[in-house]
Amino acid sequence: MATICVPVRVHRPEELSGAINVAAREGDLVEVRADYLAEPEVVLPIVRELPDDLQSRIVITLRSAEQGGELPHSHDVRRAFWTRARELPNVLFDVEVDLLQERDLPFDLGRVICSHHDFTRVPTDLEKIYAQMAATQARTVKIAVQANDAIDCVPLFKLLERAKRERRELIAIAMGQRGLMTRVLGSSRGSFLTYGSSDEESATAPGQITAQGLRSLYRIDSIDAETQITGLIGNSVGHSLSPYVHNMAFADADLNAVFLPFELDDVSAFLKRMVRPGSREINWNLRGLSVTAPHKATVIGHLDWIDEGAREIGAVNTIVVEGGELHGYNTDAVGFIRPLKQRNESVAGLRCAVIGAGGAARAVVWALKAEGALVTLFARDKAKSETLARQFDVSCRGLSNATFHEVDVVINATPLGTYGKAEHDTPATSEQLRGVRLAYDLVYNPSETRFLSEARAAGCETIGGLDMLIAQAVEQFKLWTGKHPNVDVMRATARGRLGIDA
């Protein structure tokens, strides 16, 4: 089972004991961050008074400002603190390598975690840093560095392999959203522990998730060398519901599988160094990937085989590792058309306006054409929409001042309305939508977008993006596992995350 260490970060001494007890219920170890206190010495008598069984689960930390400390305690203050702290029985000490190398400040090295942090990058001399820290003879070496792309995790996994060969205890973490995989998979690859906060507001490092999330969402205790890895690649995946939908479906089906978000810029390097069996640099049982913006078209040139529909659409949203090959599919088209067909006896002959000209719009237009719908494309980017219209033999118009009273269905295939900066935007107002029978928004987070609100105000029926999300996720699950998922579990999970009443 994985060892999860829960940090305690409070600014007032009177809050410390209660916070330690909360953290102890959530995790296996408790890291007491003394650098959050103006007078870090107050930590010591409080820890000394803890019951022996709890005291043995404590890790005391006093970070310097350069190493991520909350308050700027001087070198002398840190020395004085550790001179007193090292007299505590039972507890572990997380000490930066600079202090550990000062010979006149001896520690019981059997209780020391020697740590180094870099909040800007993965150092090019990471192996050298590790060797210098290992030479201190501290019980455990801890290296935490910033991941600026998912491929930055590769050196951390390689370091864990080295430490295992050398029989050294190592904690290796890539910080930030792009390093999440090291927090979830590290323990199964030999990392001494991983960190998880007691709640979403209490994280002490970039990318740190909750201890509950590690255990209930990612099922970290059951991850091993045989676990099938799947995940989402894109550039901005932090708010995706896919990890929740797929991981809960894996758990319901009792499958040894996990779904992770992989945020990245360089899709070519990721596929080469982490995905393709013949060239990947880490040993993991990667089964497949979901692909989102902006990589749906880019990945095509890196695949060995592409499904006919995905090839015609010109976008892949699902990759399956088959033996030594990478196969590409597009489940967006199926996911989109299924909810629409449930509302209409036939899609053939429906007058459909598709707003957008990106990867999602390509799948929508292809699916509509395959069903015999009459499609008109609307987009702000005239050149892009004209190219797409010619490819699929549909008409196109500019979006500015467009009206849709002559169409049956309007589909928003743009990101407008998505959680974040564009949340309050809409590609069409109620005035433009008046007379339309059905408005279909592919955006699912939030569940109630401004586009849907405008459509209801215009008297339209509506379909939200959640229906498409679930329908395409079902097809992905089947491609990766060969099994049909529990759709009710998928839908209930997504609705719960979006705060939609059952």
HSE of 433, CA atoms in CB hemisphere, 13 A: 29
Domain boundaries, the chain: 4-224, 231-330+470-498, 333-463
Q: In this model, does residue 162 exceed pLDDT 60?
A: yes
More confident residue, 82 or 239: 82
Q: Which helix (H) or strand (E) holds 338?
A: helix 332-343
Query: Comparing C-alpha atoms, which of 11, 15, 26 is closest to residue 57?
Result: 26
Predicted local confidence at residue 17, as pLDDT = 96
CA 252 to chain centre: 21
Using an 8 Å Cβ cutoff, are 414 and 358 in contact? yes
Question: Quick one: 4-224 is in which CATH superfamily?
Answer: Aldolase class I (3.20.20.70)
Q: Which helix (H) or strand (E) holds 22?
A: helix 16-26
Q: Which long-range contacts (CB under 8 A, 24 or more apart) does 14-23 make?
A: 16/42, 16/43, 16/46, 17/46, 19/198, 20/46, 20/50, 20/54, 20/58, 21/54, 22/198, 23/198
Q: What is the pLDDT of residues 177-204, one digit of tens each?
A: 999 999 999 999 999 999 999 988 888 8
- Residue 154: pLDDT band (50, 70, 90) is very high
What are 42's two structure tokens? 């107050």
Using an 8 Å Cβ cutoff, are 48 and 25 in contact? no
Burial (CB count <10 Å: 0-12, 13-18, 19+), residue 11: exposed
Torsion of CA 289, 293, 296, 297, to 10 degrees: -150
Which sign does the torsion angle of CA 221, 225, 227, 233 carry? positive
Using an 8 Å Cβ cutoff, are 276 and 265 in contact? no
Q: In this model, does residue 502 exceed pLDDT 60?
A: no
Q: Tell me the whole-structure pTM to 2 decimals.
A: 0.93
Alpha carbons 464 and 455: distance in angstroms, whole number: 11
Q: What is the pLDDT of residues 124-138, one digit of tens each?
A: 999 999 999 999 999
- AA identity, residue 379: A
Tell me if residue 92 falls in helix, strand or coil. Answer: strand
Q: What is the pLDDT of residues 284-315, one digit of tens each?
A: 999 999 999 889 999 999 999 999 999 999 99
Tell me if residue 320 falls in helix, strand or coil. Answer: strand
Predicted local confidence at residue 239, as pLDDT = 82
Predicted local confidence at residue 135, as pLDDT = 93
Task: Write out the catalytic residue numbers.
Answer: 296
Using an 8 Å Cβ cutoff, are 407 and 436 in contact? yes
Alpha carbons 219 and 209: distance in angstroms, whole number: 13
Q: Which helix (H) or strand (E) holds 155?
A: helix 154-166
Alpha carbons 252 and 255: distance in angstroms, whole number: 8
What are 500's two structure tokens? 């939609």
Domain 231-330+470-498 = CATH 3.40.50.300: no
Q: What is the pLDDT of residues 33-84, one digit of tens each?
A: 999 999 999 999 999 999 999 999 999 999 999 999 999 999 999 999 999 9
Per the DSSP assignment, residues forming a β-bridge with 352 are 375, 409
Using an 8 Å Cβ cutoff, are 152 and 122 in contact? yes
Q: In this model, does residue 350 exceed pLDDT 70?
A: yes
User: How is domain 333-463 classified at the CATH fold level?
Assistant: Rossmann fold (3.40.50)
Query: Comparing C-alpha atoms, which of 493, 428, 487, 495 is closest to residue 462?
Result: 428
What are 253's two structure tokens? 């089906």
Q: Do domains 231-330+470-498 and 333-463 have the same CATH topology?
A: yes
Per the DSSP assignment, residues forming a β-bridge with 228 are 257, 285
Which sign does the torsion angle of CA 231, 232, 235, 237 carry? negative
Using an 8 Å Cβ cutoff, are 391 and 363 in contact? no
- AA identity, residue 79: R
Predicted local confidence at residue 497, as pLDDT = 92
